[in-house]
Amino acid sequence: KKIVAALAALAVSATVLIAPAQAQDKKYTIALIPGLTTDGFYITMRKGAQAAADALGVTLVFQGAPDFNPVTQVPVLDAVIAKKPDAILIAPTDKVQLVEPLRKANDAGIPVITVDTFIGSGVYQTGAGDADFPLAYIASDNVLGGEIAARALATSIGDKGKVYVSNVKPGISTTDQREEGFKKEMAKHPGITVLETQFNDDDANKAASQLQAVFARNPDLVGVFGANLFSALGAANGVKQAGQTGTVKVVAFDAPTSIVDNINTGLVDVAIAQHPAEIGYYGVVSAYAHLTGHSIPVTIGTGFTIMNKSNIADPNISKYLYSE
């Protein structure tokens, strides 16, 4: 009898042990929708996401549009929703325009996590507002990033003179917040005048011609903050084309590999690298944690690495350059 009872107990505990193991054997598919596919920032984010997916045995689908635009991102999102992935990680290209398209995913029972950018106010799971349904927001602290940029530029220009922000377009949470942080910090520098922001639609060529136009109107221009990768590369090229390398100081957000040359030649004083691989990694880990019954933090903040001429050769710094 004792043996029978022991065997029965063993069978029960074996079932208990096996059941969760089987549940975890489910192969999850997580979709990552970037702001655009041809941007080193999102290419690097994908690598981090893939590293987490490999570690967890998750299938990662990376699908996006070729430009940073809600008009092209929403059809990609619709196509992803139709394939019913287990979770969606997305960098929404507009705070407002992506709310309703993402609600469709949420209504279809697909958990949504936003990476890099947010919708609504970016404060989720509060029961307030109509865009609080994403489970989490994983990103750099972009207001802080703008403040860091302003301090760096203020130092470069000796705390006086005219500067402006080269930005993408209003409505993008990240770049809006960088400009906000930049202006907030510059308000503490009475010797600095911040001219009107120039919006380039994520087009580096446009950012370059805008730099030259601003310089033509303001020959006493001393600095520019490029609020994302294309704004910064474009503004820097504009400075070069205007023959003002080293005279008009450039502080760049983001760190494509080409920033190294720009730093070494003195065209760019400081680059603020985000950690997109970390954003992708924690995006996948968070989605997986949620799918396997764990609660997840509603916000995860990732860091920055500040690059300049004195540290860019250090492998502990240059490892944060983005992939191509």
Tokens of 136: 């989490």
Per CB under 6 A, the segment of 35-43, 76-84, 120-128, 265-273 that binds ligand T6T is 35-43
Per CB under 6 A, the segment of 96-104, 151-159, 190-198, 228-236 that binds ligand T6T is 228-236
166 binds ligand T6T, rule: CB under 6 A: no
Q: Which residues contact 118 (CB under 8 A, 6 or more apart)?
A: 92, 95, 124, 134, 137, 139, 173
254 binds ligand T6T, rule: CB under 6 A: yes
Apex CA 10: angle with CA 6 and CA 13, to 5°?
140
Among 30, 110, 119, 229, binds ligand T6T (CB under 6 A): 229
Q: In whole angstroms, what is the distance from residue 37 CA to residue 94 CA? A: 16
> At its nearest, how many Å lie between ligand T6T and the CB of residue 173?
7
237 binds ligand T6T, rule: CB under 6 A: no
> At its nearest, how many Å lie between ligand T6T and the CB of residue 102?
16
Among 133, 137, 230, 288, binds ligand T6T (CB under 6 A): 230
Q: How many residues belong to the site for ligand T6T (CB under 6 A)?
A: 13
Contacts (CB under 6 A) with ligand T6T, residues 93-152: 116-117
What one-character-per-residue DSSP string does 132-182 give? --SSEEEEE-HHHHHHHHHHHHHHHTTT-EEEEEEE--TT-HHHHHHHHHH
> At its nearest, how many Å lie between ligand T6T and the CB of residue 216?
26
322 binds ligand T6T, rule: CB under 6 A: no
Of 123 and 289, which has the nearer Cβ to ligand T6T?
123
* CA proximity to 120, closest of 101, 138, 99: 99
Tokens of 236: 């820097």
What one-character-per-residue DSSP string does 181-220 give? HHHHHHTT-TTEEE---EE-TT-HHHHHHHHHHHHHH-TT
Among 35, 64, 234, 280, binds ligand T6T (CB under 6 A): 35
Q: Which residues contact 22 (CB under 8 A, 6 or more apart)?
A: none
> At its nearest, how many Å lie between ligand T6T and the CB of residue 160?
28
Tokens of 221: 């221009």
> At its nearest, how many Å lie between ligand T6T and the CB of residue 50?
18
Of 152 and 192, which has the nearer Cβ to ligand T6T?
152
Contacts (CB under 6 A) with ligand T6T, residues 259-288: 274
> At its nearest, how many Å lie between ligand T6T and the CB of residue 157?
23
Q: In whole angstroms, what is the distance from residue 195 CA to residue 60 CA? A: 43
Of 183 and 189, which has the nearer Cβ to ligand T6T?
183
Expressed in angstroms, the distance from the first to the final Cα of the chain is 68
228 binds ligand T6T, rule: CB under 6 A: yes
To the nearest 5 percent, what fractions of the chain are helix, strand and coil?
45, 20, 35
Q: Which residues bind ligand T6T (CB under 6 A)?
A: 35, 39, 41, 116-117, 172, 174, 228-230, 253-254, 274
